[in-house]
Amino acid sequence: MLELRLILLLIGVVFIAVVYLLSRQGKPRLGKSHRQAPTMTSQTMPVITADPILEQAEKRASVNAEDADPATKKPQLIICLHVADRSQQGFAGAQVLAALQMAGLRYGQYQVFHRITNTELQQSVFSVANMVEPGTLNPESLPQTRIPGLTLFLLLPGPQNAVAACADMLATARLLARQLHADVLDDKHNLLTSDGTQQLRERILEFQKQLLNC
């Protein structure tokens, strides 16, 4: 009788041990979770926080001013506009290239597009660059890329009348915007309004007065 009780007790202990082990296996183990890194898609375009090509233009203008004879040094002004995608998905590079060519812009110095004068010197009136670093718009690689926006900038004084040059750049920005179903923005990336356009004109007229007084 005593042996039977011992056997039953041993069976009970073994049963409890088996249940405990099975319950431990069913619980999730604690540890570091593995998170999948986010991937870049056509709907997650980079946020634009600066205009690298415009910064390069400002540096070139600064260098030119420093190298100039102090007796002939003149003030300089940079007028800037942007053509930005409304959908945040970016422009197809092939469409950008077609729009630039339709606007009569030519690829050239600094690997960006320019409005070129009809004179023998063929100088750049204003330029159009990629809004993303390093700002280049290489025609060979454009069809394989997407572009969040374009930056147009005009360095004054230039080879043409300042008011006429700015009007040409504004008309080109609007033409590009129509072709790409985009918006024209001012230098602070706000939607360009009629008041903003008038302010651009006033800045240029004031700058021309400043030049006359130099």
pLDDT of residue 2: 45
What are the tens digits of pLDDT across the range 78-120? 999 999 998 888 999 999 999 999 999 999 999 999 999 998 8
Q: For the chain, what is the domain count?
A: 1
pLDDT of residue 198: 96
DSSP state, 71? T
Domain that holds residue 175: 52-59+76-189
pLDDT of residue 65: 46
Quick check: is 151 in a domain? yes
Residue bearing the bigger pLDDT, 75 or 214: 75
pLDDT of residue 37 exceeding 70, the answer is no
pLDDT of residue 59: 55
Quick check: is 167 in a domain? yes
Average pLDDT of the segment spanning 198-210: 94
Residue 128, C-beta contacts closer than 8 angstroms, at least 6 positions apart: 100, 105, 112, 113, 114, 137, 150, 151, 152, 172, 176
Residues of the chain above pLDDT 70, percent = 66
pLDDT of residue 133: 87
What are the tens digits of pLDDT across the range 166-177? 999 999 999 999
Quick check: is 31 in a domain? no
Backbone angles phi, psi at 113, to 5 degrees: -100, 150
CA atoms within 13 A on the CB side of 42: 9
pLDDT of residue 42 exceeding 50, the answer is no
User: At how many degrees (to 10) do helices 162-180 and 93-102 cross?
Assistant: 140
Quick check: is 173 in a domain? yes
pLDDT of residue 162: 95
Quick check: is 124 in a domain? yes
| Residue 12 confidence class, pLDDT cut points 50, 70, 90 | low
Quick check: is 179 in a domain? yes
Quick check: is 164 in a domain? yes
Quick check: is 201 in a domain? no
